[in-house]
Amino acid sequence: MQKNKINIKNRKARFQYEILEKYTAGIVLVGTEIKSIRNGKANIGESFCEFQENELYVINMHIQEYSHATHFNHNPRSERKLLLNKNELRKLQKSVRNTGLTIIPLRLFINQRGLAKLEIALCKGKKLHDKRETIRKREDKRRLDRIKKAFNN
């Protein structure tokens, strides 16, 4: 069965944000939404999380409409509630309100029980010079790997 093969990542998040803490949250979904996710038809590239009345919602996550559904299909860009325990929600809300951090989804996956989970992170936005430093480190690592490979052969 393919339920563990779904692993949709937000590739831009690690480049644009400095990740401070990670959490795994459940998502409240409709039947056609989970079917589309199991088919790999979701995108979290431009999504973010925000609080609405002490509850955390993921905004702008795109789940494509299910192809075999009738007129009862879901809205692809609707807000979806995230499920965390009270202490985690309080801690996140306090961090977002006081220090100006943001909550970004990093990964959407299906766990062993077949439930959709969203890995979210408390992040701080990187400045331009931080992004340049990240690029420089990545290029240095590539050069070093090439030299090691050439030396070993």
pLDDT of residue 141: 93
pLDDT for 16 equals 86
CA 109/CA 27 separation, integer angstroms? 11
The CATH homologous superfamily to which domain 7-126 belongs is Small protein B (2.40.280.10)
The pLDDT score that the predictor gives to residue 2 is 46
pLDDT at 4: 59
What digits encode the pLDDT tens for the residues 79-102? 899 999 999 999 999 888 888 789
Q: Are strands 42-43 and 62-63 parallel, antiparallel or unpaired?
A: antiparallel
DSSP letters along 94-141, please? Answer: HHHHHH--EEEEEEEEE-TTS-EEEEEEEEEEPPHHHHHHHHHHHHHH
Q: Where are the domains of the chain?
A: 7-126
Amino acid making up residue 45: G
Residue 51's pLDDT is 92
Distance from C-alpha of 109 to C-alpha of 104, rounded to nearest angstrom: 15
pLDDT at residue 3, rounded to an integer: 45
The list of the chain residues with pLDDT below 50 reads 1-3
